[in-house]
Amino acid sequence: MRTYLVVVDETEEAEIALRFAARRAAKTGGAVQILAIVAPQEFVAWGSVQATIEAEAGEHAQEVARRALGLLDEERGVIPRIVVKHGDPVAAIQEAIAENPDVAALVLGAAKGGAPGPLVTHFAGAGSSALPCPLMIIPGGLTREALDRLS
Protein backbone atom coordinates (compact mmCIF):
# COMPACT_ATOMS: atom_id res chain seq x y z
CA MET A 1 0.00 0.00 0.00
CA ARG A 2 1.36 3.42 -0.97
CA THR A 3 2.38 5.12 2.28
CA TYR A 4 3.12 8.79 2.85
CA LEU A 5 5.67 9.28 5.64
CA VAL A 6 5.08 12.55 7.51
CA VAL A 7 7.35 13.90 10.23
CA VAL A 8 5.24 15.62 12.88
CA ASP A 9 6.10 18.04 15.62
CA GLU A 10 4.24 20.95 17.14
CA THR A 11 4.71 23.30 14.20
CA GLU A 12 2.08 24.65 11.86
CA GLU A 13 3.99 23.40 8.83
CA ALA A 14 3.89 19.83 10.17
CA GLU A 15 0.08 20.06 10.35
CA ILE A 16 -0.05 21.30 6.76
CA ALA A 17 2.20 18.46 5.57
CA LEU A 18 0.04 15.93 7.42
CA ARG A 19 -3.17 17.29 5.90
CA PHE A 20 -1.65 17.14 2.42
CA ALA A 21 -0.43 13.56 2.97
CA ALA A 22 -3.80 12.45 4.36
CA ARG A 23 -5.69 13.92 1.41
CA ARG A 24 -3.30 12.29 -1.08
CA ALA A 25 -3.59 8.97 0.73
CA ALA A 26 -7.39 9.20 0.69
CA LYS A 27 -7.42 9.92 -3.04
CA THR A 28 -4.95 7.18 -3.94
CA GLY A 29 -6.09 4.45 -1.56
CA GLY A 30 -2.92 4.80 0.46
CA ALA A 31 -1.88 5.17 4.07
CA VAL A 32 -0.13 7.70 6.26
CA GLN A 33 2.74 6.91 8.58
CA ILE A 34 3.21 9.56 11.26
CA LEU A 35 6.78 9.82 12.52
CA ALA A 36 7.44 11.60 15.81
CA ILE A 37 11.10 11.99 16.69
CA VAL A 38 12.56 12.25 20.16
CA ALA A 39 15.72 14.30 19.76
CA PRO A 40 18.81 13.24 21.69
CA GLN A 41 18.72 14.57 25.24
CA GLU A 42 21.59 16.34 26.91
CA PHE A 43 23.56 13.95 29.06
CA VAL A 44 22.85 14.09 32.79
CA ALA A 45 25.33 12.49 35.18
CA TRP A 46 22.73 10.54 37.16
CA GLY A 47 21.25 7.60 35.30
CA SER A 48 17.80 7.74 36.90
CA VAL A 49 17.44 11.44 36.07
CA GLN A 50 18.55 10.76 32.50
CA ALA A 51 16.04 7.92 32.18
CA THR A 52 13.24 10.16 33.49
CA ILE A 53 14.12 12.92 31.03
CA GLU A 54 14.17 10.47 28.12
CA ALA A 55 10.87 8.89 29.20
CA GLU A 56 9.20 12.31 29.41
CA ALA A 57 10.51 13.22 25.95
CA GLY A 58 9.15 9.94 24.58
CA GLU A 59 5.74 10.56 26.16
CA HIS A 60 5.70 14.06 24.69
CA ALA A 61 6.45 12.69 21.21
CA GLN A 62 3.61 10.17 21.60
CA GLU A 63 1.24 12.99 22.58
CA VAL A 64 2.28 15.06 19.54
CA ALA A 65 1.59 12.04 17.31
CA ARG A 66 -1.80 11.41 18.96
CA ARG A 67 -2.81 15.04 18.40
CA ALA A 68 -1.81 14.64 14.76
CA LEU A 69 -4.25 11.74 14.50
CA GLY A 70 -7.06 14.17 15.25
CA LEU A 71 -6.23 16.00 12.03
CA LEU A 72 -6.93 12.84 10.06
CA ASP A 73 -10.54 12.52 11.24
CA GLU A 74 -11.78 14.33 8.14
CA GLU A 75 -10.12 11.91 5.75
CA ARG A 76 -12.22 8.77 5.87
CA GLY A 77 -10.46 5.59 4.88
CA VAL A 78 -6.95 6.85 5.69
CA ILE A 79 -5.11 4.34 7.83
CA PRO A 80 -2.59 6.13 10.06
CA ARG A 81 0.32 4.39 11.69
CA ILE A 82 2.34 6.08 14.44
CA VAL A 83 6.05 5.50 14.78
CA VAL A 84 8.22 7.13 17.45
CA LYS A 85 11.98 7.09 16.97
CA HIS A 86 14.74 8.31 19.26
CA GLY A 87 17.92 10.01 18.16
CA ASP A 88 19.15 12.12 15.28
CA PRO A 89 16.17 13.22 13.13
CA VAL A 90 17.85 12.52 9.79
CA ALA A 91 18.91 9.03 10.88
CA ALA A 92 15.43 8.40 12.34
CA ILE A 93 13.77 9.29 9.03
CA GLN A 94 16.16 7.13 7.04
CA GLU A 95 15.53 4.24 9.44
CA ALA A 96 11.74 4.66 9.20
CA ILE A 97 11.93 4.58 5.40
CA ALA A 98 14.20 1.53 5.43
CA GLU A 99 11.82 -0.33 7.78
CA ASN A 100 8.75 0.27 5.62
CA PRO A 101 9.14 -0.67 1.93
CA ASP A 102 5.66 0.80 1.24
CA VAL A 103 6.85 4.38 1.83
CA ALA A 104 6.09 6.10 -1.46
CA ALA A 105 7.06 9.64 -0.41
CA LEU A 106 8.58 11.61 2.43
CA VAL A 107 6.31 14.59 3.11
CA LEU A 108 7.82 17.57 4.93
CA GLY A 109 6.36 20.98 5.65
CA ALA A 110 8.37 24.11 4.93
CA ALA A 111 8.20 27.07 7.30
CA LYS A 112 5.94 29.98 6.36
CA GLY A 113 8.78 32.44 6.26
CA GLY A 114 12.53 32.56 6.52
CA ALA A 115 14.87 29.70 5.89
CA PRO A 116 13.52 26.15 5.63
CA GLY A 117 13.95 23.92 8.63
CA PRO A 118 16.90 21.56 9.04
CA LEU A 119 15.08 18.50 7.66
CA VAL A 120 13.93 20.29 4.50
CA THR A 121 17.42 21.75 4.09
CA HIS A 122 19.04 18.33 4.45
CA PHE A 123 16.70 16.23 2.32
CA ALA A 124 16.27 18.85 -0.40
CA GLY A 125 20.04 19.32 -0.52
CA ALA A 126 22.86 16.90 0.13
CA GLY A 127 20.58 14.19 1.55
CA SER A 128 18.36 13.99 -1.53
CA SER A 129 20.55 11.42 -3.27
CA ALA A 130 20.16 9.01 -0.34
CA LEU A 131 16.36 8.99 -0.48
CA PRO A 132 14.78 5.87 -2.04
CA CYS A 133 11.51 7.74 -2.59
CA PRO A 134 10.33 11.17 -3.73
CA LEU A 135 10.42 14.13 -1.37
CA MET A 136 7.32 16.32 -1.17
CA ILE A 137 7.87 19.74 0.39
CA ILE A 138 4.59 21.41 1.29
CA PRO A 139 4.78 25.22 1.64
CA GLY A 140 3.78 26.31 5.13
CA GLY A 141 1.98 29.37 3.85
CA LEU A 142 -0.73 27.48 1.97
CA THR A 143 -4.26 28.17 3.09
CA ARG A 144 -6.53 25.25 3.87
CA GLU A 145 -8.46 25.92 0.66
CA ALA A 146 -5.30 26.01 -1.48
CA LEU A 147 -4.05 22.84 0.18
CA ASP A 148 -7.32 21.04 -0.49
CA ARG A 149 -7.31 22.17 -4.10
CA LEU A 150 -3.71 21.02 -4.67
CA SER A 151 -3.99 17.68 -2.94
pLDDT digits (tens, 9 = 90+) for 70-81: 666 666 667 688
Task: Tell me the whole-structure pTM to 2 decimals.
Answer: 0.82
Cα–Cα distance, 137 to 140 (Å, whole number): 9
Largest CA distance in the chain: 52
Residue 131, pLDDT above cutoff 80? yes
The pLDDT value given to residue 103: 97
* pLDDT averaged over every residue in the chain: 82
Residues 6+ apart with CB under 8 A from 1: 29, 30, 31, 79, 102
- Residue pair 28/4 in contact (Cβ under 8 Å)? The answer is no
Cα–Cα distance, 134 to 103 (Å, whole number): 9
- Each domain of the chain, given as residue ranges in start order, spans 3-150
Higher pLDDT, 76 or 83: 83
Residue 126's nearest CA partner among 97, 102, 99, 90 is 90
Higher pLDDT, 61 or 24: 24
Higher pLDDT, 119 or 78: 119
Q: Which fold has domain 3-150?
A: Rossmann fold (3.40.50)
